[in-house]
Amino acid sequence: MKKLILLSFIILFLTGCFAFPEEPPVLTPPAFILREPREFVTVPVSRGDVRLFTSPSAQYMLVIEEDVRFDETGIPLYDIFVSVGDRVHAGDIIAALGGGHDLQEERGALINIRNEIMSSLTQLNQRHELALALAEASGNPVDDLHFRDQRADILGELEIIDLQLSRLAGADESRYLLSPITGLVTQALTFTEGMTSTAGRRIATISDESKAAFVVSSPIAATMHPKDLFEIILNNNTYLLEVIDPHEYGITGRSEWTTVAFLTFVDTPPMIPLNTRVIINILYAESLDVLYIPDELLRQAGERTFVYVLENGLRTIREVTIGLWGNNTIEIISGLEEGELLIR
Whether residue 1 is contained in a domain is answered as no
Q: What is the pLDDT of residues 241-285, one digit of tens each?
A: 999 998 888 886 566 666 789 999 999 888 888 889 999 988 889
Contacts of 95 (CB under 8 A, 6+ apart): 68, 70, 77, 78, 79, 80, 81, 82, 176, 177, 191, 203, 204
Is pLDDT at 34 greater than 50 in this prediction? no
- Among 5-9, 53-57, 86-90, 227-231, name the one with the lowest average pLDDT: 5-9
Between CA 95 and CA 79 the distance in angstroms is 6
Q: Are 80 and 191 in contact (CB under 8 A)?
A: yes
Between CA 33 and CA 216 the distance in angstroms is 64
Report the mean per-residue pLDDT for the chain.
84
- C-alpha Rg value of the chain to the nearest Å: 49
Q: Which residues pair with 204 in a beta bridge?
A: 68, 188
- Among 14-23, 141-150, 166-175, name the one with the lowest average pLDDT: 14-23
Contacts of 203 (CB under 8 A, 6+ apart): 68, 69, 70, 80, 94, 95, 177, 188, 189
Number of domains in the chain: 4
Same domain, 154 and 129: yes
Q: What is the pLDDT of residues 64-114, one digit of tens each?
A: 888 999 988 888 998 999 999 999 999 999 998 887 556 566 667 778 888
Q: What confidence score (pLDDT) does residue 170 get?
A: 63
> Which domain does 76 fall in, by range?
65-97+175-208
| Cα–Cα distances in angstroms (integers) from residue 164 to residues 72, 75, 169, 255, in the given order | 20, 21, 9, 39
| Cα–Cα distances in angstroms (integers) from residue 165 to residues 103, 104, 223, 230, 335, in the given order | 10, 11, 57, 59, 92
What does 261-320 look like in DSSP terms, one character per residue?
EEEEESSPPP---TT-EEEEEEEEEEEEEEEEEEGGG-EEETTEEEEEEEETTEEEEEE-
Q: What CATH code is carried by the domain that includes residue 298?
A: 2.40.420.20
Between CA 157 and CA 133 the distance in angstroms is 28
* Of the candidates 298, 329, 321, 311, the residue with the CA atom closest to the CA atom of residue 47: 329
Domain boundary among 158, 174, 190: 174
Same domain, 128 and 229: no
Whether residue 233 is contained in a domain is answered as yes
The amino acid at 278: V
Alpha helices in the chain (DSSP H): 2-18, 100-138, 144-174, 246-249
- Among 28-32, 132-136, 167-171, 220-224, name the one with the lowest average pLDDT: 28-32
Is pLDDT at 144 greater than 90 in this prediction? no
Is pLDDT at 169 greater than 80 in this prediction? no
Is pLDDT at 36 greater than 80 in this prediction? no
- The residue ranking higher by pLDDT, 324 or 254, is 324
Average confidence (pLDDT) over 326-344: 95
Q: What CATH code is carried by the domain that includes residue 200?
A: 2.40.50.100
Q: What CATH code is carried by the domain that includes residue 265?
A: 2.40.30
Between CA 130 and CA 135 the distance in angstroms is 9
Average confidence (pLDDT) over 159-171: 74
> Dmax of the chain from CA atoms?
206
Is pLDDT at 27 greater than 60 in this prediction? no
